[in-house]
Amino acid sequence: MDKVEPAGMSAETTRARRNIYHALSAGFYVPEADILSPQFIQDLQENFAALDALDELGDSLNQLNKAGKQYDSLEKLLVEYSKLFLGPDKLLAPPYGSYYLNDKTTMGASTTEVIKIYEKLDLELSDSFQDLPDHISLELYFLAYLVEQQLVLQQEKGSAAGRNVLKWQNYFLENYLYPWQDEFTDKIKSNYDSDFYSPLADIYSCFIDREIEYLARNVGADSEV
Amino acid sequence: MSSRKKGISRRDFLKIMGTSGAALGLGIGGTAGSRVLAEEDPYEVLPEGEHQYGEWVPTGCAGCTSWCSLEANVVEGRVIKVRGNSRSQVNGGSSCPRSHLSLQQVYDPDRIKRPMKRTNPEKGRGIDPKFVPISWEEAMEEIADKVMELRENGDSHKFVLWRGRYTRLRDILYGILPEFVGSPNKISHSSICAEAEKFGPYYTEGYWNYRDYDLLNSDYVLIWGTDPIQSNRQVSLYSRQWGDILEGAKIATVDPRFSRTAAKSDEWLPVKPGEDGALALALAHVILVEGLWHKEFVGDFASNDSQFVAGEEVAEEDFTENYTHGLIKWWNEELKDRTPEWAAERTGLSAEQITRVAREFGQAAPRACCFMGGGGVMQIRGGYNAMAIHALNGLVGSVDNEGGAVRGAGVPNQSFPDHTDFLDDISLQGLENEMIDRRGRLEFPALKDGKSGGGVVTNVSADSIIEEDPYEIKMAIGYWNNFNFSAPETERWDEAMAKIDFYIHLVTHQSEMTQFADIIIPSTHHMFEQWGMLYQKGNLHTHFWLSRPMIPRYWTLIEPEAEFSWLLAEKLADRGYSNMLDYFRTIVDPETGSEPENYREFAEYASKHYMQPVWDPELDSHGEQFQGWEDFKESGVWNSDRFEFKQHWGNFATSTGNFEFYSETLKEALQEHGDRHGVSVEEVLQACKYEATGELAYLPHYEEPYTVGEAEEYPLLLVDSKSAMNREGRSANAGWYYDLKTIDPGDSPEADVIKIHPEDAERLGLADEDEVRVSSPTGEIYCQLKVWEAVKPGTACKTFGMGHWAYGRLAAEDFEAAVPRGANNNEIMPAEYERLSGSTSFYSHTRVKIEKA
């Protein structure tokens, strides 16, 4: 009997999810010039279109698009990024899971758990990543990797293998990102008036909500027809 | 690093373990991780809440000058707990409350995480620097370019290096680097730390240093202007031993405020601020009149009939001194009139209490110990107080004696190789310039070690920059310091720092001083992330500990002393000036002879080099011996042999070789300084705000306290004290700082308070918990009033520690608006000095007025 993926688990959907995770990961890391490029917004728009989410996210994407054109230099965005996520001032929106999960500290017990998950999957931080293991960018990057693995394993080992990766995505998301999503995005929006990061926070928040629903729907779903 | 694909560049944040960093992407499904992903259930294979046991790794703490040897518990790359290192003979297994705040420092989300650059050229308090992250390459190149520019323009001396706290690797950044730049300006923080309390011991017994105190063997302990179970010194040790000390000795504490130590004493002497000299002299008077001095040490009258009688002179030839010098001159010129009644009028203490304490202290001789801290001596006219207070130890023969005030053992360190041959002409010429702290000028003798201009006058360097006297400062590096917060009259620092064209700050946290930085270099935490070492004395031993990197540096941090210096040396070499790098390469691994190849190796080799006499079994350490570097690292601390008493009797490092009540040593130093400026000693003293004339200049004598502001307008004297939770002003962004604030007697967990006596509150029409404005002739602060009986009437006591307008989310009330949480005492404290030592004055000179806000 042929195995057919449930609706929503098509390669196109999976690729779109991967791309969004990756774009958001880049968006919450120290910005490089391409973050302000039209391509960044366009990518997000295309991938959200593939998820049929433009109705929900259209306004935020438009705001982000508008913001991208307003920033006349990367420096302005770097200043805002520093205020929100890097310092050296008081961090307005700490981007670390442990801050929310372990009493406002970094490198709490939850960070160790995240490191162990990376290690379990034979992964470690690249030299080019210069922040903590539970930084939101890295966690989103890791999820992009998991989604990519879903594609790879599905192709190489069949749909059961691909679907098992959904469990890992779900496990990671529900334990290490979703619990602090609201507080994090609230801080971004209420502690600083950024034309760029405010819509990005909305997009992130909406996407994670969708992901939680998506995974709840698809983890363990019977795919045999 | 990123690679290009459709859309934005792909970020490469993760890699397959053990690989060189190839991007994760499609087509790598065959890894071990992929198999796990395909086959294993995360809900089953990932253990939850599994308890892991950590490893105790030796380190040390520089949160105050106790410098305790500690151990840190490291669990899976995270440090989760600290404790005393039981191998230390100084603090043993004990650790003080503030040591634990280091955990909240190292994992503070507000830490500086990567090099940052200022984008707003305008500088000032409340002006947003608009920092942005930059690469190491960019940061170091900009710094190197600026150094080269100074050198090429003949401005190398217009560079200053400010050092705050340190490890002994300081000899590289602070000791050597400025000379390679070509500047004499190595300015330490020492004179906002202690120097006046070293002045007394030096000009009596020739010892410019902190003392150790054999309290367990004392019968009477006089704690003077210090709080050893709260703030300084050897807090961990005394927190453990205090009960035993109290069992064996009577303890009296001299302090205008009811300190934690006062609360754990038998007797409290709430002296009027600034009148410490009067009290010390009266105690000395009683000890002599009642014949309680220690005859073996001091000597005696030739005739049993002779004695000291108040108001009457004694013939010098009637008294034969043993290990002291000038007792009769001291008596005749000063002490004979310093009766308890005379002192009672000035100190606000009763003559009965003064007499009782003097008598009991003298009766305990020689096991009577006077433990001196900064409170009674870091005053405008405190130099002679320091001599008078320490001279009490001389009178009762407890100097260098069991149960008394002793010294530490020599420390087996190894200096770095001589670098002078590597200095070029630009450096040598630059070094000829006057230093910007004005040390050695007529009004700043700073007589450290008996030398005119031998010490530092830290706080005056702000004025020098503002006034461009002796010259303009164009570039500065500061590390582990925050003078815009920690030095009195902070506004001057704001003005000075705004004036410096290029400032680099090497720190763990954004502080007030960082707000003026052009480049911020993120520093490692000294306890957990770097090599470092410090030595300190206590419990009749000296210990020498090593800290080492024990947790990963996820952020791009560098150790500021050795690693930063190496990185700068590399960049200077790239620009054709390789002298510093050439020199650094001579500091090799003592075990293998290997030259350092990079900054991390340099820091490690430098540490091994500096401590080689400690760990090398071929060398005599004069204490604990180890089998090698690895063996020593396991212990993490070296201990000296136990201190031997009376080793200095008869050979004190003074001009006479004796303990000098009449200081020939000071006489020589003052005369040398006067000669340098073509003036008399009296004119030197006048320039230093002292009133003494004649022989009194060389004797511990009474000086009327010098205060700033009129008593009518500013009726209260400010009493500054240090919080038990202060890690020298660096812990205010730790939550536990506030959770545990009641550890400071009288303080509130809810607000930063200034404490006054109920009598004063009633007179001023103020009530408990009033929000108040506290003003002095130099500034004003806002805080809450605490009405408290345990304050001397006429004084206002406030703990130093809060009042940051930068430093992070908890330290500042509103970081963006530069609104402080609480109030910084230094904003209302006039910049004044005990000029003979160079010490900044923190005590007794600030008059304040308190009004409802």
3-state secondary structure B721-748: EECCCCCCCCCCCCHHHHHCHHHCCCCC
**Is B170's pLDDT higher than 50?**
yes
Residues 6+ positions from A28 with CB-CB distance below 8 Å: A85, A95, A135, A136, A137, A140, A200, A204
Tell me whether residues B1 and A127 touch, CB distance under 8 A: yes
B246 and B382, same structural domain?
A: yes
Cα B204 to its chain centre, rounded Å, is: 23
d(C-alpha B59, C-alpha B85), whole Å: 8
* Same domain (yes/no): B501, B630: yes
**Nearest CA to B803 among B375, B481, B512, B494?**
B512
- B1 CB neighbours in chain A (<8 A) are 126-128
Tens-digit pLDDT profile for residues B456-508: 999 999 999 999 999 999 999 999 999 999 999 999 999 999 999 999 999 99
SS3 assignment, position B46:
coil
Residues 6+ apart with CB under 8 A from B377: B196, B197, B199, B200, B225, B276, B383, B385, B386, B389, B834, B839
Give the number of other CB atoms < 10 A from CB of residue B570. 18
Q: Which chain A residues touch B108 with a CB distance below 8 Å?
A: 105-106
A contacts of B510 (beta carbons < 8 Å): 87-89
How much is the pLDDT for B6? Answer: 54
- Please tell me whether residues B399 and B436 are part of one structural domain: no
Q: Which residue of B has its CA nearest to A31?
A: B133
CA nearest to B2, candidates A128, A183, A135: A128
- Is B26 in contact with A151 (Cβ distance < 8 A)? yes
Task: Give B 37-56 residues with CB within 8 A of chain A.
Answer: 37-43, 45-46
Residues on chain A touching B136 (C-beta within 8 angstroms): none
Cα(B229)–Cα(B241) distance, rounded to whole angstroms? 10
Asked if the structure places residue B543 within a domain, the reply is no
Q: Which of B14, B135, B805 to mutate to test the interface with A (most CBs of A within 10 A)?
A: B14
Question: For an interface test with A, which of B16, B37, B515 has the most A Cβ atoms less than 10 Å from its Cβ?
Answer: B37
Contacts of A113 in chain B (CB under 8 A): 46
Q: How many other C-beta atoms lie within 10 A of the C-beta of residue A111?
A: 27
Q: CB-based contact (8 Å) between B521 and chain A?
A: no
Ramachandran class of A23: left when φ > 0, alpha when ψ lies in -120 to 50, beta otherwise: alpha
Minimum-distance CB partner of A145 among B14, B107, B735: B14
Q: What is the pLDDT of residue A3?
A: 46
User: Out of A22, A34, A131, whose CB is closest to B113?
Assistant: A131
The H-assigned helical ranges of B597-677 are 599-610, 612-615, 629-635, 664-677
Q: Which residue of A25, A81, A106 is in closest CB contact with B107?
A: A106
Is residue B278 scored above 70 in pLDDT? yes
Residue B387 lies in a domain: yes
B315 touching A, CB under 8 A?
no
Residue B541 inside a domain? The answer is: no
User: CA B247 to CA B232: how far, in whole Å?
Assistant: 21
**Predicted pLDDT at B26:** 42
**How does pLDDT run across B561-587, given as a tens digit for each residue?**
999 999 999 999 999 999 999 999 999
| Confidence band for B7, pLDDT divided at 50, 70 and 90 | low
Q: What pLDDT is attached to residue B670?
A: 98
Measured between beta carbons, the chain B residues lying within 8 angstroms of A79 are: 119, 130-132
B551 backbone dihedrals φ, ψ, rounded to 5°:
-130, 155
Task: Find which of A98, A128, A131 to mutate to test the B interface (most B CBs within 10 Å of its CB).
Answer: A128
Which of A164, A200, A173 is CA-nearest to residue A185? A200
State the Cα–Cα distance between residues B290 and B162, nearest whole angstrom. 50
d(CA B786, CA B850): 12
Contact A108 B107 (CB under 8 A): yes
Q: CB–CB of B13 and A126 under 8 A? A: yes
Q: Tell me, what's the pLDDT at B1? A: 39
Q: What is the pLDDT of residues B341-377, one digit of tens each?
A: 999 999 999 999 999 999 999 999 999 999 999 999 9
The CB density around residue B314, as the number of other CB atoms within 10 Å, is 20
Q: Which chain B residues are Cβ-neighbours of A194 within 8 angstroms?
A: none
Closest to B720 (Cα-Cα) out of B842, B848, B802: B842
> How far are the Cα atoms of A70, B466, B735, B807, B820 from residue B812, in angstroms, in the given order?
32, 27, 12, 7, 5
Is the model's pLDDT at B322 over the cut of 70?
yes
- Find the CB nearest B42 among A23, A118, A168: A168
Closest partner residue to A34 (CB to CB) among B9, B18, B42 is: B9
CB contact under 8 A, B13 and A161: no
Cβ of B111 within 8 Å of Cβ of A107? The answer is no
**Are residues B253 and B380 located together in one domain of the fold?**
yes
Q: With a cut of 90, say whether residue B337 has pLDDT above it.
A: yes
Task: Tell me whether residues A126 and B14 touch, CB distance under 8 A.
Answer: yes
Chain A residue closest in CA terms to B42: A168
Q: Give the pair of three-digit tokens for residue B537.
A: 């004395």
**Backbone phi, then psi, for B439, in 5-degree steps?**
-60, 140
Closest CB to B133 among A26, A86, A94: A86
Q: Answer whether A121 sits within 8 Å of B36, measured CB to CB.
A: yes
Neighboring chain B residues of A187 at a CB cutoff of 8 Å: none
Categorize the per-residue pLDDT at B31 as very low, low, confident or very high, splitting at 50, 70 and 90.
confident
The total of other beta-carbon atoms located within 10 Å of residue A103's CB is: 9
What is the structure's pLDDT at B815? 86
User: Count of CB contacts below 8 A, A vs B?
Assistant: 213
pLDDT at B22: 54
pLDDT at position B542? 97
Contact A89 B815 (CB under 8 A): yes
Task: Based on the fold, state whether residues B588 and B441 are members of the same structural domain.
Answer: yes
Cβ of A112 and B77 within 8 Å? Answer: yes
Sheet containing B637-639, strands listed edge to edge, beginning at the edge strand earlier in sequence: B532-538, B541-547, B637-639
φ, ψ (nearest 5 deg) of residue B833: -140, 150
Contact: B555, A131; criterion CB under 8 Å: yes
Residue A94 has its nearest CB partner, among B1, B109, B132, at: B109
Which residue on chain A is closest to B815 by alpha carbon? A90
- List of chain A residues with pLDDT < 70: 1-8, 221-225
Q: At what angle do helices B276-289 and B383-395 cross, to 10 degrees?
A: 20
Check if the beta carbon of residue B95 is closer than 8 Å to that of residue B83: yes
Q: What would the pLDDT profile of B775-834 be if each residue is shown by its tens digit?
A: 999 999 999 999 999 999 999 999 999 999 999 899 999 988 899 999 999 999 999 999
Residue B739 scores a pLDDT above 60: yes
Establish if B766 belongs to a structural domain.
Answer: yes
pLDDT of amino acid B304: 74
- Cβ-Cβ contacts under 8 Å, B2 against chain A: 32, 128
End-to-end Cα separation, chain B, in angstroms: 55
**Which residue in the set B25, B41, B812 is minimally distant from A167, CB to CB?**
B41
- My answer on whether B230 and B340 are in the same domain is yes
Is B328 contained in some domain?
Answer: yes
Q: Which of B709, B758, B732, B702 is nearest to B813 (CA)?
A: B732
Per the structure, the complete domain to which residue B672 belongs is given by: 664-698
| Residue type, position B459, single letter | N
Q: Are residues B818 and B730 in the same domain?
A: yes
d(CA B507, CA B123): 19
- B368 lies in the same domain as B423: no
Find out whether B725 and B97 touch, Cβ atoms under 8 Å.
yes
The answer to whether B398 and B328 have CB atoms below 8 angstroms apart is: no
pLDDT, chain B, mean: 95
Best mutation target among A14, A36, A106 (most B Cβ atoms within 10 Å) is: A106
- Chain B residue with minimum CA distance to A29: B11
pLDDT for B3 = 45
Nearest to B266 by CA among B280, B286, B244, B246: B246
What does the pLDDT look like over B827-850, one tens digit per residue?
Answer: 999 999 999 999 999 999 999 999
pLDDT in tens, B40-65: 999 999 877 677 789 999 999 999 99
For A147, the enclosing helix (H) or strand (E) is: helix A136-157
Domains of chain A: 11-218 (1.10.3480.10)
Nearest CA in chain A to B514: A88
Whether residues B416 and B509 share a domain: the answer is yes
Residue type, B627: Q
Q: What's the full length of chain B, in residues?
A: 853
Do A153 and B42 lie within an 8 Å CB cutoff? Answer: no
CATH number of the domain residue B186 falls in? 3.40.50.740
**Which of B38, B40, B12 lies closest to B25, judged by CA?**
B12
**Beta carbons of B25 and A86 less than 8 Å apart:** no
CB contact under 8 A, A90 and B808: yes
For an interface test with B, the pick among A39, A46, A90, A139 (most B C-beta atoms closer than 10 Å) comes out as: A90
Do you find a cis peptide bond into B366, omega within 30 degrees of 0?
yes
For residue B549, being part of any structural domain is answered with: no
Are the beta carbons of B792 and B757 closer than 8 angstroms? Answer: yes
**Statement: residue B550 has pLDDT above 50:** yes
Cα B615 from Cα B137, distance rounded (Å): 36
Q: What is the CATH number of the domain that holds B848?
A: 2.40.40.20
B757 touches B788 (CB < 8 A): yes
Given a cut of 60, is residue B395 above it in pLDDT?
yes
Domain count, chain B: 5
Encoding tokens for residue B54?
């950590």
In this complex, the residue of B8, B133, B510 whose CB is nearest that of residue A30 is B133
Both B680 and B754 in a single domain? no
Nearest CB to A75; choose among B1, B9, B132 = B132
Question: Is the residue at B149 inside a domain?
Answer: yes
Q: How far apart are CA B265 and CA B222, in angstroms?
A: 9
Please indicate whether, in this complex, the C-beta atoms of B113 and A87 are within 8 angstroms of each other: yes
Q: How far is CA B359 from the centre of its chain?
A: 34
B76: left (phi over 0), alpha (psi -120 to 50) or beta: left
> Are the C-beta atoms of B219 and B248 separated by less than 8 Å?
yes
Of the candidates B38, B119, B806, which has its C-beta nearest A75's C-beta?
A: B119
Whether residues B443 and B387 share a domain: the answer is: no
Torsion sign over Cα B132, B137, B140, B145: negative
Distance, in angstroms, between A200 CA and closest chain B CA? Answer: 16
Tokens 């729907």 -> residue = A217
Average pLDDT over residues B688-697: 98
B523 touches chain A (CB under 8 A): no
B142 in a structural domain: yes
The CATH number that applies at residue B311 is 3.40.228.10
For B817, other C-beta atoms within 10 Å of its C-beta total 9
Residues facing B800 on adjacent strands = B722
**A148 residue type, one letter:** E
Q: How high is the pLDDT of residue B2?
A: 44
| pLDDT score of B27 | 46
Q: Do B116 and A132 touch (CB under 8 A)?
A: no
Quick one: B142 and B250 in the same domain? no
Q: Is B5 on the interface with A (CB under 8 A)?
A: no
pLDDT at B728: 87
